[in-house]
Structure 1
Amino acid sequence: MTAIPTVTLNNGVTMPQLGFGVFQVPDEETTAAVATALKAGYRSIDTAVIYGNERGVGRALADSGIARDELFITTKLWNADQGYDSTLAAFETSLDKLGLDHVDLYLIHWPTPARDRYLDTWRALEKLYADGRTRAIGVSNFRPAHLERLLGAASVVPAVNQIELHPGLQQRESRDFHARHGIATEAWSPLAQGAVLKNDAVTTIAARHGRSPAQVVLRWHLQIGNVVIPKSVTEARIHENLDVFGFELDAREIDALDALDRGMRTGPDPDTLN
């Protein structure tokens, strides 16, 4: 298997460009799924408080025998925990569940603009970063307007913005903003929960390469520069999602997938979720 490429974040930390997500995986199934992913070769694992499976991730990490410095672990602060002191407390709870003394990336999960706490929350993330409790800090589901406000008050520029992104929702405005400010774009729901996999353009390209539609879409993400975290609990698909380095999409194929943008969300709107 070809080694997973990395992206260098704006603080010099390297992050695998392809990782393993555990959204919607019950805690009791998470340990086995993460163990399978680690055995397959994944080294980046993405979880969150609200997923309820940080302990399951931690069990798999502890059982893996993989050196801590070979792993890249991301978790996220939930909305109800936003605020300076509550963020610091929530972070300690996450570390305890994961069984770690630090994480590699800590994210504010949603901007929750009606709560209006993400500036205080970011100050807490900056403290955690300064104290070496997390190697990088970032946000998730922030629109450019949220980021503009954050950057106006921040001492540390977010390293990552993790957003819903797939051929049906390409988020060009956000990606352009990220590029201008040195923020890595990370895609959640990279396959639109399967909604894009039956598209004619996707299936045609897949047949041409002798690959699955999911592999084609993941390859598109990688070639346009996204960090991507597909999720599965099926061993065959966990392996399939990692096997995306033995082929390349040409410019016409990239253009065909770029043409699929429909503004199609599978998840909440960041401006209204609180």
Structure 2
Amino acid sequence: MPVLGFGCWKLPEDSTAETVCSAIGSGWRHLDCAADYANEKQVGEGIRLAIERGHIGSRSDLFITSKLWNNFHRREHVGPALARTLADLGTDYVDLYLVHFPIPLKYVDPAVRYPPGWIHDPEAEAPRMEEDNVTLAETWGALEEECLAGRCRRIGLSNHNVQAIRGLLAGCKIPPAVLQVELHPFLTQEKLIRFCKSRDIVVTGFSPLGAGSYVALGTAAPEESVLREEAVKAIASKHGVSPAQVILRWGLQRGTTLVPKTTKPARMVENIDIFGFELAEDEMGALSGLNKGRRFNDPGVFCELAFGSFCPIYE
């Protein structure tokens, strides 16, 4: 798995294909996708364009990650959900398939609405989330079957904590290869990373630049940007790089992989150009010292604000 992946969350549907093609042309070889991002068909078109324009030779030049959405956790729904993702992406396998959230929701037939989102019935008098009683073991067993069949080459988790991973490891046949969680200098999660390393689970950090993607969602304020921190700007000036490059380099030197997102071609080039410098131990310490346990992507907050359902998963 390439240590840097191009995040496809919040890419506008009408420009996703060209954005993905441009990212591949800029050197990105890992695409981080999900059914819930509502743009996998357009990502697939971007891959086709990249092949057509000679950026890559074939789909096999890419590492593609996707994620199982919450409404498809029951055993009988896992295979069809993955099949829909494969059809949309235009491939017969994904390199990595993750359980997106530890939040099983009641099934919504894709013929009714796809992707289903968080609300069970948007037309209801009081639209809300409707949880389902499905164990991670049931979902994981179905993922193992898909993995053995070759439709996903590795399986893993997203937004799960140590307790969930411990329980899974106690009974699974195929252990999770990857855990994807929110990681940035305001949320360093040292214990979680240390635990995963002890179990040979690769940790991928989403939103590695912090607040940017969440300001428009109302779960972060512009002044919460880690890129504004004086320590970050001083280190960037010393190395002749941007604050974003400093933060991404910090993430890599911690031993994690990262999936930043941008729609700007210049940023695509900048974000992947972080291998020509190295942060000193004191610089790494200064950046880690910015930790304040600030989580921007927290279902315990946004589910209540946006969907009328209190749904904590970390406390």
Partner of 1:264: 294
SS in 1 for 2:293: coil
Q: Which amino acid aligns with 1:23?
A: W
1:1-274 matched pairs, under 5 angstroms? 15-65=1-51, 66=56, 67-112=58-103, 115=132, 116-194=134-212, 195-269=225-299, 272=312
% identical equivalent positions: 42
Q: Give per-residue Cα distances to partners, 1:220-274, cap 9 Å, x unaligned.
A: 011111110110001111111011111111111001111111100111147726x
Q: Tell me the number of residue pairs that the alignment of Structure 1 and Structure 2 aligns.
A: 260
Deviation at 1:32, TM superposition (A): 1.2
Deviation at 1:150, TM superposition (A): 1.1
Partner of 2:127: none
Using the size of structure 2 for normalisation, the TM-score is 0.80
Q: Which runs of 5+ in 2 are unaligned?
A: 105-130, 213-224, 301-310
- Report if aligned partners of 2:59, 2:91 keep a CA contact under 8 Å in 1: no
Moved over 6 A (4+): none
SS in 2 for 1:28: coil
**C-alpha separation between the residues in 2 aligned to 1:142 and 1:157?**
14
Q: Which amino acid aligns with 1:229?
A: V
SS in 2 for 1:107: strand
Q: Which has the larger radius of gyration?
A: 2
Q: Which runs of 5+ in 1 are unaligned?
A: 1-14
Q: CA RMSD in A?
A: 1.5
Using the size of structure 1 for normalisation, the TM-score is 0.92
Deviation at 1:219, TM superposition (A): 0.4
- Report if aligned partners of 1:26, 1:52 keep a CA contact under 8 Å in 2: no
More relative contact order, 1 or 2 (CA 8 Å, 6+ apart): 1
